Chains A and B, each alone.
Chain A
Amino acid sequence: MFQVLCIFIPLIAALFMPFFFKKVRSIHTGWFVLVVPIFLASYYATFIPITSKGDSVIAQLHWIPSLGISFVSYLDGLSLLFSILITGIGALVVLYSIFYLNRTKEQLHNFYIYLLMFMSAMLGVVQSDNMMTLYLFWELTSISSFLLIGYWFNRDKSRFGALKSMMITVAGGMLMLGGFVLLALMGDTFSIRELIAQAPELAANDLFVLALILILLGAFTKSAQFPFYIWLPDAMEAPTPVSAYLHSATMVKAGIYLVARFTPIFAQSEVWIWLVAGIGLLTLFWGSFFAVKQTDLKGILAFSTVSQLGLIMSLLGVGAIAFHVEGAADSAFKYATFAAIFHLINHATFKGSLFMIAGIVDHETGTRDIRKLGGLMSIMPVSFTVALIGSFSMAGIPPFNGFLSKEMFLTAMLSIAEFDLFNFATWGILFPIIAWIASVFTFIYSLYFVFRTFTGKGNIAQLPHKPHEAPMGMLISPVILAVLVVGIFFIPNIVADLFIKPAVIAIQPFLYTHPEQVDIHISAWHGVNTELLMTLGIFAIGFVLFLTLSKWQKIYNAFPAKLTLNNLYDFIIYELSGNWMYRLSSSYMTGSNRRYLGLMFGAFSLIVIGTLFSKDAFYVTFEGASPVHLHQVILIIVLVIGTITTVFAKSRITSIVALGAVGYTVSLFFVLFKAPDLALTQLVIETISVALFLLAFYHLPKFKKEQERNRFKFGRALVSFAVGAMVTLVALSAHSQKLVPSIAEYYKETVYSLAGGGNIVNVILVDYRGFDTLFEITVLAIAGMAIYGMIKLRLSRKGGKL
């Protein structure tokens, strides 16, 4: 119970933040916030001994029991690792933000409410075992991310970035919900653990691949994979602590988490392996290639994040291959998933610190434009050291943790060549090659980031602020992360035992059942082999390319600016949905009543006639029809002549009189068909109606000749013919297929004995079905009052307003 409540602790704490901000003005609100992640991180740390033995802890809180929806906190190696990352880096980011955001100038309560909301959401995503609550928290991360990106809401670019990330991630989230629902239908449960238990049966289902693709779309949009990565660079308008927290260390890894979590279910499908590994690798290359083009510090880091997320994703895809390999636990495939988790931890440490450094540079110099920066090394030595450590780790240079995971990444990619299922024998060779090229670019942009900012001449005098080293407090968090970067390099196996192996068994339960079976020992020096040679090649070629950067950077200009994914997004959002759809709807929403009526009548008759014939319901019989008499035929002829006169009369008076003639003919029909009450009423009402028409006639203008364009005239005739045909056809087949006898016998038999009347129609009106009559009187009364109101009330004349 308490374990589940822990997910909500940040949300509950958020409720109190406005109070602290408004009432305790002298203390930065962030200090109160800081308590929350520190408490949670230490609480989650107590679970490490349990999960490192391969066990898991589960707690449940029912929400909607009748639908099987409940809040479940399921802590195994994978979710505990994420929980600790979220709370741990959360604590560092809050600490950093205390010094980054000004206590008096910023709306801190908003900021921290959003941040705490995000923290709850993220903990919920990684701990939920129930897919519905997982989706709930997933969307909450999108919303809080939207709020945080748009934190400076008076800037256009912030709002644009917030909207863009919202559109893309929520669209993906919706699709993912579809995938979840399909999975739940197939497995008849919302619980991910129970679904994993019945994974083989699920794979046989026809909907399996559809669910797979939908869930992957959710993961790819959230984790900024190709081609959905475009929101991430625009999300850099957020305050830097947010970029460091959400857009490098935690939220963008939600997609990674999702892929890892569902691997035991979907690894059996080759579609999964190809998509995850292929898209991951493409993203890795694409992101690293375009990172070198950026001129904004945070832009470089955004593309670098995209690229590194692609790396982790492709490793997860390759790790899924282990499902199909005999004895995978002894082959090189075992490295892939391990490397993915390892790099995930490493990336969180070095990317977090790099973002914080970018924030410090921005804060102290007033610009993030790399073309204006340079030569800050001697002014900001601590920041430079941290940036150097982070960048070198990102580039994969020893003695930093990025080196270790990069080596394992290359090992895993090389192992693909061994695999000969699903066409990997043909295309598998591309994997290590693309990975290698992407690593070269990673190397280049890492050096580009740190050396362009801190070394060289630079024109410090022209910077917006006079640069100086950041305050102590601001440096604490990046320094801690940098220490971790170095620390993990020297004690990788302790990290592996505590965090990575338990996570690996959660991802690959088909391979291992106990963490000790994960037989991987990380060593910085593993002899001269292909990986090491590849790494040396990366260093050498990357270094040469970095030195000659100014010569070849021009090739980026060769790419046509119009053919970008951002343009495609703008086209879809603004041109397609905004402009084209507006034009489409205004093409039929013309404001013309006649057109609407014409469309409605036409569609109605088409549907009815179509149904009548497609269902084979049309049937005519002359059986049971009553005989035709001459006087009836004469009346019909009169009626038809009257109607034609009404329609084609040139003057109003002719038309009105002809309508009266039709009405009186109808009352004669009522006489013929033995309905005396109807005939009487019709006669009276027709008289009053004609009188009313003549009254209106006096006030209304003369008929103008109907001037239509020919097309409309034809359509009008066609629609009216269709409606007439529809009525005739329906009447004919309804008359010919009477299924049940009339209930009139009852009325006839009981009208005197029960109701004491002789006129059956009148008794029906006031006795059997008196309610009809009551409300028909009401209708008349309302019409009368409305007419009175329309004539008497004239507010606009008196200058009043309606």
Chain B
Amino acid sequence: MEIIMAFVCGFLFMAAIYLILSRSLLRIIIGTGLLSHGAHLLILTMGSFKGSAPPVLTEGVTDFVDPLPQALILTAIVISFGVTAFFLVLAYRAYQELKTDDMTELKGSDDIE
């Protein structure tokens, strides 16, 4: 299962990078969303899927899955949510002020002052 999940994560990353390299700001944000999904699944996969019970103490169960990656992912989910929310509002404000969401037009360079 871990082998297949490695390919799934790679696929998610590939799609995310493809979107991040696009011209529209909204597509880029969607890309970052996919990227964080990929990263979270990757952390979980690397922690391995061994164990038959969720990491909650229950009578008579000793074979828990690894709880540490889950704690890390939980933190990561919240942080990526905060960043995505911020990014969305930033894109909204940028569009409001600059009237464009096209990255080629948002180019910052010396000849534009």
Residues of A within 8 A of B (CB): 590-594, 597-598, 601, 620, 622, 624-629, 632-633, 636, 639-640, 643-644, 646-647, 652, 655-656, 659, 662-663, 666, 669-670, 673-678, 681-682, 685, 688-689, 692-693, 695-697, 699-701, 703-704, 706, 708, 716-717, 719-721, 723-729, 731-732, 734-735, 738, 742-744, 747-748, 751-752, 758-761, 764-765, 769, 772-773, 776, 779-780, 782-784, 786-787, 790-791, 796
The 7 closest A-B pairs by CB, nearest first: A724-B14, A591-B109, A728-B10, A783-B82, A731-B6, A720-B17, A720-B18
Total of A-B residue pairs, C-beta within 8 Å? 274
Partner of A673, one of B30, B65, B95: B65
Residues of B within 8 A of A (CB): 1-27, 29-30, 33-34, 37-38, 40-42, 44-57, 64-68, 70-75, 77-79, 81-86, 88-93, 95-97, 100-104, 106-110, 112
Which residue in chain A gives the minimum CB-CB distance to B96? A699
**With A728-B6, A751-B57: A597-B108 Cβ-Cβ less than 8 Å:** no
**With A593-B107, A760-B57, A764-B71: A678-B77 Cβ-Cβ less than 8 Å:** yes
A723-B14, A728-B10 known; 6 other A-B pairs, CB under 8 Å?
A: A675-B73, A681-B74, A759-B56, A760-B55, A760-B57, A765-B75
Q: Are B84 and A692 closer than 8 Å at their CB atoms? A: yes
| A752, B8: Cα distance in complex, Å | 36
| A588, B104: Cα distance in complex, Å | 15
| A663, B97: Cα distance in complex, Å | 31
| A552, B13: Cα distance in complex, Å | 78
Q: Are B78 and A780 closer than 8 Å at their CB atoms? A: yes
**Which of B5, B46, B70, B83: most chain A CB closer than 10 A?**
B70
Which residue in chain A gives the minimum CB-CB distance to B93? A790
Q: Are A720 and B68 closer than 8 Å at their CB atoms? A: no
| A791, B92: Cα distance in complex, Å | 9
A724 CB to closest chain B CB, in angstroms? 3
Show 8 A/B contacts (Cβ-Cβ < 8 Å), sorted by A: A594-B23, A597-B20, A673-B49, A699-B96, A701-B101, A744-B64, A758-B57, A784-B82
| A699, B94: Cα distance in complex, Å | 11
**Which of A681, A706, A743, A748: most chain B CB closer than 10 A?**
A748
B63 CB to closest chain A CB, in angstroms? 10
Q: Are B10 and A727 closer than 8 Å at their CB atoms? A: yes
Q: Are B75 and A776 closer than 8 Å at their CB atoms? A: yes
Q: Are A700 and B101 closer than 8 Å at their CB atoms? A: yes
Which residue in chain A gives the minimum CB-CB distance to B42? A731
- Residues in chain A near residue B93, CB distance under 8 A: 790-791
Q: Are A720 and B14 closer than 8 Å at their CB atoms? A: yes
B14 CB to closest chain A CB, in angstroms? 3
- Residues in chain A near residue B72, CB distance under 8 A: 772
Which residue in chain A gives the minimum CB-CB distance to B110? A591
Q: Are A593 and B103 closer than 8 Å at their CB atoms? A: yes
Q: Are A685 and B78 closer than 8 Å at their CB atoms? A: yes
- Residues in chain A near residue B89, CB distance under 8 A: 696, 787, 790-791
A784 CB to closest chain B CB, in angstroms? 8
| A751, B67: Cα distance in complex, Å | 11
| A743, B17: Cα distance in complex, Å | 33
| A601, B13: Cα distance in complex, Å | 11
**With A685-B77, A704-B102: A666-B7 Cβ-Cβ less than 8 Å:** no
Q: Are B34 and A703 closer than 8 Å at their CB atoms? A: no
Which residue in chain B gives the minimum CB-CB distance to A652? B26
**With A598-B21, A744-B68: A620-B3 Cβ-Cβ less than 8 Å:** yes
Q: Are B13 and A727 closer than 8 Å at their CB atoms? A: yes
Partner of B33, one of A640, A659, A784, A790: A659
| A682, B47: Cα distance in complex, Å | 18
- Residues in chain A near residue B102, CB distance under 8 A: 704
Partner of B21, one of A597, A701, A790: A597
Q: Are B13 and A677 closer than 8 Å at their CB atoms? A: no
Question: Taking chain B's interface residues, is the majority helix, strand, or loop, or is none over half, making it mixed?
Answer: helix
**With A731-B42, A783-B86: A759-B15 Cβ-Cβ less than 8 Å:** no
A424 CB to closest chain B CB, in angstroms? 58
Partner of B15, one of A629, A643, A652, A681: A643
- Residues in chain B near residue A676, CB distance under 8 A: 54, 56
Partner of B95, one of A670, A700, A725: A700
| A799, B24: Cα distance in complex, Å | 30
Which residue in chain A gives the minimum CB-CB distance to B39? A727
Q: Are B46 and A735 closer than 8 Å at their CB atoms? A: yes
- Residues in chain A near residue B3, CB distance under 8 A: 620, 622, 625, 732, 735
Q: Are B67 and A760 closer than 8 Å at their CB atoms? A: yes
A628 CB to closest chain B CB, in angstroms? 5
- Residues in chain A near residue B68, CB distance under 8 A: 742-744, 747, 764
Q: Are B26 and A765 closer than 8 Å at their CB atoms? A: no
- Residues in chain A near residue B78, CB distance under 8 A: 681, 685, 776, 779-780
| A404, B108: Cα distance in complex, Å | 70
- Residues in chain B near residue A673, CB distance under 8 A: 44, 49, 65
Q: Are B67 and A636 closer than 8 Å at their CB atoms? A: no
Q: Are B46 and A787 closer than 8 Å at their CB atoms? A: no
Which residue in chain A gives the minimum CB-CB distance to B97? A796
Partner of B70, one of A591, A597, A629, A675: A675
- Residues in chain A near residue B10, CB distance under 8 A: 724-729, 731
**With A701-B95, A721-B14, A783-B86: A689-B48 Cβ-Cβ less than 8 Å:** no
Q: Are B42 and A601 closer than 8 Å at their CB atoms? A: no
- Residues in chain B near residue A752, CB distance under 8 A: 57
Partner of A625, one of B2, B56, B100: B2
| A639, B19: Cα distance in complex, Å | 16
**With A685-B78, A728-B10: A761-B71 Cβ-Cβ less than 8 Å:** yes
- Residues in chain A near residue B81, CB distance under 8 A: 685, 688-689, 780
| A754, B20: Cα distance in complex, Å | 45
**Which of A662, A732, A742, A744: most chain B CB closer than 10 A?**
A744
Which residue in chain B gives the minimum CB-CB distance to A620? B3
B4 CB to closest chain A CB, in angstroms? 6
| A185, B98: Cα distance in complex, Å | 60
| A41, B10: Cα distance in complex, Å | 78
A3 CB to closest chain B CB, in angstroms? 56
B5 CB to closest chain A CB, in angstroms? 8
Q: Are A677 and B70 closer than 8 Å at their CB atoms? A: yes
Q: Are A689 and B109 closer than 8 Å at their CB atoms? A: no
**Which of B41, B71, B106: most chain A CB closer than 10 A?**
B71
| A674, B49: Cα distance in complex, Å | 9
| A593, B3: Cα distance in complex, Å | 34
**Which of B46, B52, B112: most chain A CB closer than 10 A?**
B46
| A796, B55: Cα distance in complex, Å | 53
| A677, B54: Cα distance in complex, Å | 10
Q: Are A761 and B21 closer than 8 Å at their CB atoms? A: no
| A752, B55: Cα distance in complex, Å | 12
A739 CB to closest chain B CB, in angstroms? 13
A783 CB to closest chain B CB, in angstroms? 4
B76 CB to closest chain A CB, in angstroms? 9
Partner of B109, one of A590, A706, A742, A776: A590
**Which of A655, A677, A696: most chain B CB closer than 10 A?**
A696
| A624, B49: Cα distance in complex, Å | 10
| A772, B90: Cα distance in complex, Å | 26
